[in-house]
Amino acid sequence: MSSRENGDSELHEEGSLRGVPLSGDFIVSGRTVRLQTIHSGLAWKGQDQISDCHVDWNDVITAYLGGVSRGPGVKARVGVVPEEDRFTLHYIEHQKNNILRHKHVTFIGQTGQLKEWLDSVAERTGRGRPKCLLTLVNPIGGQKKGAKLYEAVVRPLFELAGIEAKLKITERFRHAEEIAKTFDVTEVDGLIVSGGDGLMQEVIQGLITRFSVGCNDPDVELNPLPITLGALPTGSGNGISMACHGCTDLETATLAVVRGEKQYLNIVSVHGSTDLLVGYAGFAAGYGFWADLFKHADDHRWLKTYRYLVGAFRGLFAGKREFIVEGEYLPTARPDKHIRAAEDLARNTDTEGWVKFSGTFTGINCLPGGFYRVDGKPGVVHWHQGGVGVNLFLEKRSSKLSYLKWMLGISKREGDLDVLQCNADHIEEHYVKEFRFSLRESDTTPAEHGDARLPTGEEKRTVQQLVFLDGEIRPIDTSSMVVRNRRNVTEFFCAKYTSVEPSPC
Q: Give the CATH number of the domain where residue 430 resides.
A: 2.60.200.40
- 196 and 325 housed in the same domain: no
Structure-derived torsion over alpha carbons of residues 11, 14, 15, 20, reported in degrees to the nearest 10: -40
CA atoms within 13 A on the CB side of 52: 12
Residues 459, 490 share a domain: no
Q: What is the pTM of this model?
A: 0.83
Q: Are 37 and 60 within 8 A, CB to CB? A: no
> Domain for residue 162, yes or no?
yes
State the Cα–Cα distance between residues 230 and 213, nearest whole angstrom.
24
272: in domain = no
**Same domain, residue pair 87 and 148:** no
In this structure, how many other beta carbons lie within 10 angstroms of the beta carbon of residue 482? 19
- The residue from 90, 124, 158 where one domain ends is 124
Q: Of 124, 154, 171, at which residue does a domain stop?
A: 124
Same-domain status, 134 and 252: yes
Query: What is the reported pLDDT for 306?
Result: 57
User: Under a CB-based contact definition with an 8 Å cutoff, are residues 498 and 94 in contact?
Assistant: yes
Looking at the structure, tell me whether residues 289 and 415 fall in a common domain: yes
3-state secondary structure labels for all residues of 197-210? HHHHHHHHHHHHHH
Integer Cα distance of 324 and 328 in angstroms? 14
3-state SS, residue 390:
strand
Together in a domain, 448 and 320: yes
> Rounded to whole angstroms, how far apart are CA atoms 81 and 283?
46
Q: DSSP code of 150?
A: I
Q: Is there a contact between 430 and 314 (Cβ–Cβ < 8 Å)?
A: no
The region, left, alpha or beta by phi > 0 then psi within -120 to 50, assigned to residue 226 is: alpha
Say which CATH number the domain at 52 has: 2.30.29.30
* 321 and 459 assigned to the same domain: yes
Q: Is residue 331 assigned to a domain?
A: yes
User: Distance between the two ends of the chain, CA-based, in angstroms?
Assistant: 22
Q: What is the CATH number of the domain that holds 156?
A: 3.40.50.10330
- CB atoms inside a 10 Å sphere around CB 444: 17
Any domain includes 276: no
pLDDT at 242: 85
61-80 b/e (C-beta count within 10 Å ≥ 16 → b): bbbbbbbeeeeeebbbbeeb
Q: Report how far apart, in Å, the C-alpha atoms of 423 and of each of 221, 389, 430, 471 are.
A: 31, 17, 9, 22
338 three-state secondary structure: strand
Task: List the chain residues with pLDDT less than 50.
Answer: 1-17, 71-73, 75, 340-349, 413-421, 442-463, 498-502
Interacting residues of 179 by C-beta distance below 8 A, sequence separation 6+: 136, 168, 170, 203, 206
- Asked, for residue 476, whether it belongs to a domain, the answer is no
Residue 496 sits at the vertex; the CA angle it makes with 492 and 498, to the nearest 5 degrees, is 155
The total number of structural domains in the chain stands at 3
Q: Residue 251 and residue 103: Cα distance in Å, rounded?
A: 12
HEC-encoded secondary structure of 291-336: HHHHHHHHCCHHHHHHHHHHHHHHHHHHCCCCEEEEEEEEECCCCC
Residues 245 and 291 in one domain: no
Question: 279 lies in a domain?
Answer: no
User: What is the SS3 assignment for 286?
Assistant: strand
- Helix-, strand-, coil-residue percentages of the chain, each rounded to 5: 25, 35, 40
- Say whether both 335 and 462 belong to one domain: yes
Domain shared by 351 and 334, yes or no: yes
Q: Is there a single domain that holds both residue 46 and residue 96?
A: yes
Nearest to 44 by CA among 134, 86, 106: 106
Range of the domain at 93: 2-124
Query: Taking the CB of residue 117, how many other CB atoms lie within 10 A of it?
Result: 22
Domain assignment present for residue 170? The answer is yes
- 49 in a domain, yes or no? yes
* Judgement on whether residues 300 and 344 belong to the same structural domain of the protein: yes
SS3 of 399, please?
coil
User: CA Rg, the chain, in Å?
Assistant: 26
Boundary (domain end) residue, out of 105, 124, 143: 124
Nearest to 497 by CA among 94, 57, 92: 94
List, in sequence order, the alpha helices (H) in 135-185: 146-149, 155-160, 175-182
- In 10 A of CB 472, how many CB atoms? 21
